[in-house]
Chain A
Amino acid sequence: MIDCVENRLLTSRRGLLLGGAAFAAWAYLPKFARAADGRDPRLVVVILRGALDGLATVAPLGDPDYAALHGSIALTADGAHPATRLDGFFALHPAMPEFARMYRDQHAAVIHAVSTPYRDRSHFDGQDVLESGYAGPGRVQSGWLNRALEALPRGERVSSGLAVGPTTPLVLRGAAPTVGWAPVALPQADDDTAMRLVDLYRHRDPALASALTQGLQLEKAASGDDMKPKPGNQVAQMRQVARGAAKLMAADDGPRIAALAFDGWDTHANEGGPVGRLAFLLGGFDSALAEFESGLGDRWRDTVVVVATEFGRTARINGTDGTDHGTGTIALLAGGAVKGGRVISDWPGLKPANLYEGRDLKPTTDLRSVIKGVLQGQFGLSDQVLAQTVFPDSASARPMKGLVA
Chain B
Amino acid sequence: MARDSQAALVALNRFGFGPRGGASGDLINAASDPRGFVKAELARPLGALLEAPGLQATPQLGQAVFAYQDQVKQAREAAKAATPTEAPAPPPANQKPDNQLRRNLSLNTVASEISGQQVAEAKSADNKPADGAMKPDAMQPNAAAPPAAKQPQQPLNVIQKTFRTEALARLQRAMLVDCGFTERLVVFWSNHFCISASKGELARMWAGAFEREAIRPHVLGRFADMLKAVEQHPAMLFFLDNQQSLGPDSRAGQNRKRGLNENLAREIMELHTLGVGGGYTQEDVTSLARIITGWTFAGRKGQLGAPGSFAFNANAHQPGPQVLLGKTYEANGLAQGEAALADIARHPSTANFIATKFVRHFVADDPPPALVARLRDVFVRTDGDLKALATALVDSDEAWKAPLTKMRSPYDFLVASGRLLARVPEDPGLYLGSLNLLGQPLWTPAGPNGFPDTAAAWAAPEGMKLRLDIASQMGARLGPNIDPLDLLEFAAADAASVETRKTIERAESRQQALALLLMSPEIQRR
Interface residues of A (CB under 8 A from B): 1-2, 4-6, 8-9, 11-20, 49-50, 120-125, 137, 141, 163, 165-168, 173, 178-182, 184-190, 192-194, 196-197, 199-201, 203-205, 207-208, 211-216, 218-219, 229, 231, 263, 266, 268-269, 318-322, 324-325, 357
Q: Which B residues touch A125, using CB under 8 A?
A: 276
Q: Is the CB of A324 within 8 A of B263?
A: yes
CB of A47, distance to nearest CB on chain B (Å) = 12
Give 1 or 0 for each of B313-353: 1 = CB within 8 Å of chain A CB.
Answer: 00000000000000000000000000000000000000000
Q: Is the CB of B94 within 8 A of A11?
A: yes
Known A268-B263, A324-B261; further 19 A-B contacts with Cβ < 8 A: A1-B66, A9-B199, A11-B92, A17-B105, A19-B439, A20-B446, A125-B276, A167-B439, A180-B461, A182-B466, A184-B105, A186-B437, A189-B472, A192-B512, A194-B468, A207-B459, A219-B465, A229-B102, A320-B259
Q: How far is the CA of A324 from the CA of B202 in the complex (A)?
A: 23
Give 1 or 0 for each of B492-522: 1 = CB within 8 Å of chain A CB.
Answer: 0000010110010011100010011001110
Q: How many A-B residue pairs have CB under 8 A?
A: 251
Q: Is the CB of A1 within 8 A of B299?
A: yes
B234 at the binding interface (Cβ < 8 Å): no
Q: How far is the CA of A200 from the CA of B105 in the complex (A)?
A: 28
Q: Which B residues touch A318, using CB under 8 A?
A: 259-262
Chain B residue with the shortest CB-CB distance to A360? B282
CB of B307, distance to nearest CB on chain A (Å) = 10
Q: Is the CB of A4 within 8 A of B500?
A: no
Q: Is the CB of A12 within 8 A of B439?
A: no
The 8 closest A-B pairs by CB, nearest first: A319-B259, A215-B465, A166-B463, A189-B472, A215-B461, A214-B461, A12-B94, A180-B462
Q: How far is the CA of A9 from the CA of B99 in the complex (A)?
A: 16
Q: Is the CB of A319 within 8 A of B261?
A: yes
Q: Which B residues touch A9, using CB under 8 A?
A: 198-200
What is the predominant secondary structure among interface residues of chain B facing chain A? helix
Q: A216-B465, A269-B261 are in contact. Are A166 and B438 (CB under 8 A)?
A: yes
Q: Is the CB of A319 within 8 A of B198?
A: no
Q: Is the CB of A208 within 8 A of B253?
A: no
Q: Is the CB of A15 within 8 A of B98?
A: yes
Q: Is the CB of A15 within 8 A of B261?
A: no
Q: How far is the CA of A2 from the CA of B301 in the complex (A)?
A: 13
Most buried by A among B198, B241, B461: B461
Q: Is the CB of A15 within 8 A of B94?
A: yes
Q: Is the CB of A321 within 8 A of B258?
A: yes
Chain A residue with the shortest CB-CB distance to B99? A231
Chain B residue with the shortest CB-CB distance to A141? B456
Q: A120-B276, A121-B282 are in contact. Are A200 and B462 (CB under 8 A)?
A: no
22 A-B contacts (beta carbon < 8 Å):
A2-B244, A6-B200, A9-B199, A12-B98, A15-B444, A17-B101, A17-B436, A123-B449, A168-B460, A187-B469, A188-B469, A192-B512, A193-B475, A208-B459, A211-B464, A215-B464, A231-B102, A268-B261, A318-B260, A319-B260, A322-B261, A325-B266
B93 at the binding interface (Cβ < 8 Å): yes
B61 at the binding interface (Cβ < 8 Å): no
Q: Which A residues touch B99, using CB under 8 A?
A: 231
Chain B residue with the shortest CB-CB distance to A181? B462
CB of B111, distance to nearest CB on chain A (Å) = 9
Q: Is the CB of A212 within 8 A of B461?
A: yes
CB of B23, distance to nearest CB on chain A (Å) = 28
CB of A297, distance to nearest CB on chain B (Å) = 26
Q: How far is the CA of A187 from the CA of B472 in the complex (A)?
A: 9
Interface residues of B (CB under 8 A from A): 66, 69, 92-95, 97-99, 101-102, 105, 107-108, 197-202, 204, 238, 241, 243-246, 248, 253, 258-263, 266, 270, 276, 282, 285, 299-300, 436-439, 441, 444, 446-447, 449, 452, 455-466, 468-473, 475, 497, 499-500, 503, 506-508, 512, 515-516, 519-521, 524-525
Q: How far is the CA of A343 from the CA of B407 in the complex (A)?
A: 46
CB of A212, distance to nearest CB on chain B (Å) = 4
* Among A8, A185, A186, contact of B200 (Cβ-Cβ < 8 Å): A8
* Among B285, B508, B524, contact of A208 (Cβ-Cβ < 8 Å): B524
Q: Is the CB of A186 within 8 A of B98?
A: no
Q: A18-B437, A166-B466, A193-B516 are in contact. Are A263 and B447 (CB under 8 A)?
A: yes
Q: Which A residues touch B455, using CB under 8 A?
A: 207
Q: Which A residues touch B462, using CB under 8 A?
A: 163, 165-168, 180-182, 215, 218
CB of B112, distance to nearest CB on chain A (Å) = 12
Q: Is the CB of A166 within 8 A of B244?
A: no
Q: A189-B471, A318-B260 are in contact. Are A197 and B441 (CB under 8 A)?
A: no
Q: Which A residues touch B270, using CB under 8 A?
A: 122
Q: Is the CB of B259 within 8 A of A49?
A: no
CB of B471, distance to nearest CB on chain A (Å) = 7
Q: How far is the CA of A168 from the CA of B457 in the complex (A)?
A: 8
Q: Is the CB of B253 within 8 A of A211?
A: no
* Among A6, A193, A201, A214, contact of B512 (Cβ-Cβ < 8 Å): A193
Q: Which A residues touch B447, using CB under 8 A?
A: 49-50, 123-124, 263, 266
Q: How far is the CA of A319 from the CA of B265 in the complex (A)?
A: 14
Q: Is the CB of A163 within 8 A of B241?
A: no
Q: How far is the CA of A339 from the CA of B198 in the complex (A)?
A: 39
Q: Which A residues touch B97, using CB under 8 A?
A: 12, 15
* Among A167, A187, A204, A269, contact of B463 (Cβ-Cβ < 8 Å): A167
CB of B72, distance to nearest CB on chain A (Å) = 10
Q: How far is the CA of A193 from the CA of B503 in the complex (A)?
A: 10
Chain A residue with the shortest CB-CB distance to B476? A187
Q: Is the CB of B276 within 8 A of A189?
A: no
